[in-house]
Amino acid sequence: MSMNRDEVRKALIDSILAVAPEADFAAVRPDRPVRDQLDIDSFDFLTILEHLHEKIGVTVPESDYGKMITLDGSVDYLVRRLTAS
């Protein structure tokens, strides 16, 4: 699947909004841990990954959860996964 960085970011943000509809991304620091900023617990995180899988077809293994800490880092990681496949 060919997606540019902005499209990946939008897919990620839409997936987060699906579980945290009140999230205000204007106030989210993209270089800080996003789960702390938006109160996303492990169940929410799993749900976000399910939405992401539906939207962009990337399956994030548990061993890569550590690469999805910040918003920017998550987008980097997802773009890498998409270009590798």
Among 4, 14, 32, 59, binds other proteins (CB under 8 A): 59
Assess 66 for contact with other proteins (CB under 8 A). no
Q: How far is the CB of 65 from other proteins (least distance, A)?
A: 10
Segment contacting other proteins by CB under 8 A, of 7-15, 32-40, 73-81: 32-40
Q: Of 34, 39, 40, which is closest to residue 69 (Cα–Cα)?
A: 34
Q: How far is residue 56's CA from residue 40's CA, in Å, rounded to a whole number?
A: 21
In contact, 84 and 78? CB cutoff 8 Å: no
Residues that bind other proteins (CB under 8 A): 20, 22, 35-36, 39-43, 46-47, 49-50, 53, 59-63
